[in-house]
Amino acid sequence: MFKKLNLIVASAVSVFAMNSAEINVNNSDLELNVKFDMGQFNENVEPATIFLGAKYLNGDEGHSDSRNIDDYGELNFLMMKDVSDDLKLGLGFKLNHIKNFTSVPLGAEVSYKLPGTTVVPLYVGGSLYYASEVLCMENADSFLEYRVNIDAEVIENGRVTLGYRSLDTNYKIRDVEYNKSVYIGFKFFF
């Protein structure tokens, strides 16, 4: 009984702490992403500055140069800073895994609110993550991920996003472009 109660409480806390949820799709890929604002758990941490998250990508062979790809999963950590009212910069790292491929890429993220967009605020963003051989495990040799996106905040705390992603997984035996595609999706902030 005590174990069940702890599980229910842990689940409820994680639901209330979620800062954002995102779903991105195209004709054959599905990507899910959640980020938790750690400032809600610790009074010593400013809200919206430290995030823990998870991502899942069910990629399709049509957006890869491999005939057989497995699902991509990652855990991530990101520290963000408001440089100005419109510009946010972040530094972070990830632990990602695909069958026989694990790496810990380091990277940066940026988000910029375009000026003069008050009726429907527009945001542009991007990220770049890289893992050299020293940050790779299993059969991995290197990892490179970059993304660019434009978001329109159609309702408060709800955005429609259009983006492009490239995930390059270089194995020790050969290089594999895991996923390279355009996507559309929704972002929700809590």
| Domains identified in the chain and CATH numbers | 2-189 (2.40.160)
pTM above 0.95, yes or no: no
Mean pLDDT over 16-33 rounds to 88
**Three-state DSSP class for residue 61:** helix
Closest by CA position to 23, among listed 160, 167, 164: 160
143 class by beta-carbon count within 10 Å (0-12 exposed, 13-18 middle, 19+ buried): buried
Q: Which residue has the tokens 């689940």?
A: 11
How far apart, in whole angstroms, are the C-alpha atoms of residue 70 and residue 60? 9
Instruction: Kindly report, residue by residue over 41-81, the tens digit of the pLDDT.
Output: 777 777 778 999 999 999 999 899 888 889 999 999 999 99
Closest by CA position to 109, among listed 64, 135, 131, 78: 78
How far apart, in whole angstroms, are the C-alpha atoms of residue 11 and residue 31? 22
Closest by CA position to 62, among listed 181, 143, 186, 183: 181
Residue 98's pLDDT is what?
A: 94
Residue 66's pLDDT is what?
A: 83
Confidence of residue 16 (pLDDT cuts 50, 70, 90): very low
- Residue 28 forms beta bridges with which residues? none
Residue 3's pLDDT is what?
A: 53
Residue 171's pLDDT is what?
A: 93
Residue 7 has a CB neighbour count (10 Å cut-off) of 10
Residue 46's pLDDT is what?
A: 79
Residue 2 confidence (pLDDT) above 70: no
